[in-house]
Amino acid sequence: MDVEALARWYGRNARDLPWRRTTDPWAILLSEVLLQQTQVARGIEYWRRLLDRFPTVTSMAEAEVDEVMHLWQGAGYYARGRRLHALSVEVCAPGGPWGGDLPSPSTCDDVVAGFQSLPGIGPYTAAAVASIAHEVPAAVVDGNVRRVVARQTATLKPTAGDVTSLAQAWMDDAHGRNVPPSVWNQAVMELGATVCTPRAPRCSDCPVQQGCLARDHASGPTAFPAPAKRRVITERLVALVDVDAQGRPHLVQRPSEARFGGLWGPRYLDANDAAVVDECGRRTKAGDVVHLLSHRRLEVEVWAGQTEHGVDPANKAISTLDERVLHLAKGA
């Protein structure tokens, strides 16, 4: 891999993303947490929204988790918002080890390990923030990097260890040639996101096509890596939407360990639960909602009924699924 060619290419072709114009570790951390499971365009919207309200880690620590979840609404994978709030509380805990500052070379010997000790931070995010905000030469490994590694080496099923080793060897090579770690990590990810894409890699535009073993492989570059088998589990649920005379639904807050934990929504039952027959007998069926998560297909029967006291859903953090469920019940 010609690391200097890739670094030069990145200098000319990097997308202009707002978090690339800052070295503030908090702003970078926020972008990395958001981008894990959110498309870039939506990520920008949520990043701005969250940073406007929480410009520092302290400002989030001082807020209620409900407010964070309210702003996170619609971004999906809500556990991320809850864990980010827990991280801010831990960093700002009076008498705690961090004293209100995120890990940095001036506060800990091993910045990557420091980040990984915080709630919700795995190896990817720790390496990303440490390298981008502090120029720590720790290689990131995400789906884009894994694909580039698999194609450069024409490996069908690279192990996590193989990918990490090669990614770190590239980082060390680049660092030794004075390519900043922030540039190197973002260059490999950018190549995977924009040129070495899953279905239509643009090999003729690729700055590291020389020496790429997948490029002229008989199976073609898209054979690498071999697609992972995804098992999607179907869950059948019943949502009970009871509405008061003002049209406001009865909502409950989901326990933090549950799916959509911390968010509000109508009561749900497992469709196989014996209580369903009794509960639904007093309600009218409003329709069905099918909602897809990464590894789950949720089939939800929506039943509408009445209650004395509802709440205004506009003041609560609600998942996209429950917004759809409430909308369907409203029309019943």
Minimum distance between the CB of residue 148 and ligand SF4, rounded to whole angstroms? 6
Q: Is 32 a catalytic residue?
A: yes
Pick the stretch among 65-73, 91-99, 196-204, 297-305 that binds ligand SF4 (CB under 6 A). Answer: 196-204
Ramachandran region, residue 130 (left: φ > 0; alpha: ψ -120 to 50; beta: rest): alpha
Pick the stretch among 63-71, 110-118, 131-139, 213-221 that binds ligand SF4 (CB under 6 A). Answer: 213-221
221 near ligand SF4 (CB under 6 A): yes
Do β-strands 296-306 and 284-292 pair in parallel, antiparallel, or remain unpaired? antiparallel
225 near ligand SF4 (CB under 6 A): no
Q: CA-CA distances (angstroms) from residue 306 to 31, 240, 283, 327?
A: 42, 10, 8, 15
Binding positions for ligand SF4, 126-185, rule CB under 6 A? 148, 151-152
Ramachandran region, residue 26 (left: φ > 0; alpha: ψ -120 to 50; beta: rest): alpha
Burial of 244 (0-12, 13-18, 19+ CB in 10 A): middle
7 near ligand SF4 (CB under 6 A): no
- Comparison of 130 and 191: residue with beta carbon closer to ligand SF4: 191
- What is the C-alpha separation between 214 and 127, in angstroms, rounded? 27
Q: What's phi and psi for 92, nearest 5 deg?
A: -100, 10
- Comparison of 195 and 321: residue with beta carbon closer to ligand SF4: 195
Minimum distance between the CB of residue 195 and ligand SF4, rounded to whole angstroms? 5
Candidate list 91, 183, 195, 328; residue touching ligand SF4; CB under 6 A = 195
Candidate list 73, 125, 186, 209; residue touching ligand SF4; CB under 6 A = 209
- What is the C-alpha separation between 46 and 328, in angstroms, rounded? 26
Q: Would you say 54 and 146 are in contact if contact means Cβ atoms under 8 Å apart? A: no
- Comparison of 6 and 30: residue with beta carbon closer to ligand SF4: 6
Burial 219-233 (b: 16+ CB within 10 A, else e): eebbebbeeeeeeee
| Selected catalytic residue, list 32, 135, 190, 323 | 32
Q: Would you say 120 and 179 are in contact if contact means Cβ atoms under 8 Å apart? A: no
212 near ligand SF4 (CB under 6 A): yes
In 3D space, the residue among 271, 306, 275 whose CA is nearest the CA of residue 289 turns out to be 271
- What is the C-alpha separation between 218 and 195, in angstroms, rounded? 20
Minimum distance between the CB of residue 20 and ligand SF4, rounded to whole angstroms? 22
Q: Would you say 307 and 250 are in contact if contact means Cβ atoms under 8 Å apart? A: yes
- Comparison of 193 and 280: residue with beta carbon closer to ligand SF4: 193
1 near ligand SF4 (CB under 6 A): no
Pick the stretch among 39-47, 119-127, 210-218, 253-261 that binds ligand SF4 (CB under 6 A). Answer: 210-218
203 near ligand SF4 (CB under 6 A): yes
Candidate list 133, 206, 240, 318; residue touching ligand SF4; CB under 6 A = 206
Q: Which positions touch ligand SF4 (CB under 6 A)?
A: 148, 151-152, 195-196, 201, 203, 206, 208-209, 212, 214-215, 221
Residues assigned a catalytic role: 32
